[in-house]
Amino acid sequence: MVDDKDQELVDDNDDDPFTTYPKGHHRVDTTGDVELTRRSSSGRHSEREEDDQFYDEHDENDMDKSEHHTIGSARTPWYLTAIVLLSEVMGTGILSLPYAAKTLGWVCVIVSVPLFAAFSAYSGYLLASVHQKHPNLHSFAEAASSLLGERFGTITKISMLLNWGATAIYYLIATADAVHDIVGLQCDYQRALIASLLLILPCQCRDFHAISKYLSGPSTCAIIVMVFIIIGNLLSSADGTFGDTTTLWPPPGTTPLQFLEALSAFVFAYQGHAIFLELMAEMKQASDFPYSCTSAYMLMCVMYGLTVIAAYGLRGASTEEFLPDILPAGTARKVVGSLVCLHICVSYVIAGQPLHMWLHATVFPKTYQTSGRQGTLHWLIVTCGFLVFGFVVGNLIPFFADVQALIGSLFGAPTVFGWPVAFYWAVHRREGASIGLNHSTVIGGLFLLVFTPLFCILGTSGAIASIVRDAEHAATPFECD
C-alpha cells in the first residue's frame, strides 16, 4: 500500500521517466521497468543527485543484506566448508580403525591411512572440476541426469535418498546408544525418544552455511577431544612395551577376505562425497573447494594415524572393536559418551540435510529456501516428521544398523570411486576432448574398475553376514533390555 504522501510524490514525477520512489523502494525506469545501474545524468539538480545516491546506497545495502540471509545461497567460505567436511567424514569410524589394524599389520596401516586419504581427496578434486565446468549441477542426481542421462539420474537420485535416509536413522540409533552410556536407560525406545528430542533443535539449521557456523566446529572439536582423552587413558594405563603384541604384516591365519574387509574400514572412514556438490553450491567461491577438501583430508589423515598408532601400538592384539570400550566406568567414560553424543547429533543433521531439503521442496515447494515464518514452520514439520519416521523404523528393526551397513556398502564405494570418475569422464566426452593417458585415466580406471566393485562386494557381503547373524538373536521391537 502507498500512503497519500508517497502517492503525491509519485504523481508529481509522472513526467519524469526516472521516478524517485520513497525510501525503501528501488529506483526504476518506469518506461521500461528496468532497474537503474548508473547514476542520474549530470543535468539533475545536486539535491536530487544526493537523494539518488542515498537511495541507491540504501537499496544496495538492503540487497546485500537480503542476499546474506538467503537460505542455501553461496556464502560459505572455504575454511567453514572444510570444517563441515571434517564433522561429516571424520565420524565415529575413527574409533574402529585400531581394531581393523590388528588384521592388517603396521606396514599396511602406514600405507593405507595416507593413501586412501589422497584417493578420497582426489575424488573431491574430480567433483570440483565437474562443478567448475557445470556450476548449475548441485547434486549427484542433477549431475547424473545432465551428464549420463535421465534414467541414470533417476537411479542416482533414489540411491542418494535411500542412503541419506538410512544413514540418518542409523545416527538416530547411535545417538540413542550414546544416551545409554550417559544416563543408563534400559529401554531402547526410551533412549531413542530422548535422542529424537535432542535432535529437534540442531535440525533447524536449514542450510550447510548454518551448520558450518553453529554445529560443525563443536562437533569436530568433540571428536578430537574424545580421541585425546582415550589416548591419555591408554598412556596412563599401559602395562607393557609399545608394540609388544603387534605385527608388521597381517597375522598368521588371516584370510584374504578378512584382510580386504579390514582394509575397507579405512576406505569407508574417508567416505562423505555424496554431499560434496551441495557444499560447493553454498560456497562463496566454489573454485576454492579443493582447498577445503585437501585441508580436511590432511587433518583426517593425521588424526587417523595418531589414533591407530597409539591404540594399536599400546593394545596390540587386545584392541577393542570400539575404542571407548577401554574406558572404565567413571567420569572419563561419561565425558567421552557425551562427546560421542554431541558428534553423532551433528552427523545426523549433516546426513539428513539433503534429504530434508528434498522433502521440503517436494511437500512445501512454495516455502522452499524462504526464510519467513511459514517456511520455518514447514521445515520444522519436515524435520520432526522424519524424526518420528526414524524413531518408528529404528525400533521396529532391532538390527537396523546392519541394514544401514548393507545400504552404505552398496552405495559407499560408488559414491567415493564410481560417480566422481563417471561424471568427470562424461564432462570431457561432451567437450570432445581426449583425456589421453594421464592421471585421470590411470587413477580413474583404478577407481571405477577395481575399487568400486571390490569394496562394494566386500562391504555388501560383510553386511549380509551381519544381518543373518544378528537377526537370529535380535530383540523384539520396542523391547527393554
Query: Does some domain include residue 479?
Result: no
Whether residue 477 is contained in a domain is answered as no
Q: Does 481 fall in a domain?
A: no
Q: Is residue 66 part of a domain?
A: no
For cell 561424471, the residue is 423
Residue 480 lies in a domain: no
Same domain membership, residue 137 and residue 40? no
Amino acid 308: pLDDT? 95
* Contact of 170 with 400, CB cutoff 8 Å: yes
266 in any annotated domain = yes
Q: Are residues 170 and 314 in the same domain?
A: yes
Q: Are residues 304 and 450 in the same domain?
A: yes
**pLDDT tens digit at each of 481 positions of the chain:** 444 444 444 444 444 433 333 333 333 333 333 333 333 334 444 444 444 444 444 444 444 443 445 898 999 999 999 999 999 999 878 988 999 999 999 999 999 999 999 999 999 999 999 999 999 999 999 999 999 999 999 999 999 999 999 999 999 998 988 888 788 777 888 989 999 999 999 999 999 999 999 999 999 999 999 999 999 999 988 777 888 899 999 999 998 888 988 898 898 899 999 999 999 999 999 999 999 999 999 999 999 999 999 999 999 989 998 888 888 888 888 899 899 999 999 999 999 999 999 999 999 999 998 989 999 999 999 999 999 999 999 888 877 777 877 888 888 899 999 999 999 999 988 887 666 677 788 999 999 999 999 998 888 887 788 788 777 776 777 777 6
Domain boundaries, position 330: 76-472
- The CATH number of the domain holding residue 160 is 1.20.1740.10
The reply to whether 45 and 82 lie within a common domain is no
State whether 299 and 401 are in the same domain: yes
| 341 plus 441 within the same structural domain | yes
How far is C-alpha 414 from the geometric centre of its chain's CA atoms? 16
Alpha-carbon gap, residue 480 to 85, rounded angstroms: 36
What Cα–Cα distance (Å) separates residue 38 from each residue in 17, 27, 121, 153, 304?
Answer: 15, 11, 45, 44, 55
Q: How many domains does the chain have?
A: 2
156 and 8: one domain? no
Residues 139 and 13 in one domain: no
Q: Are residues 54 and 96 in the same domain?
A: no
Most distant CA pair in the chain: distance in Å?
94
Is residue 29 helix, strand or coil?
A: strand
Q: Which of 336, 270, 335 is nearest to 304 (CA)?
A: 270
Residue 36 maps to a domain: yes
Angle between helices 106-133 and 97-104 in degrees, nearest 10: 120
Residues 191, 260 within the same domain? yes
CB 474 within 8 A of CB 399: yes
Claim to verify: residue 188 and residue 332 sit in the same structural domain: yes
Both 27 and 98 in one domain: the answer is no
- What is the predicted pLDDT for the residue at 436? 66
Is residue 185 one of the residues assigned to a domain?
A: yes
Position 38 scores a pLDDT of 34
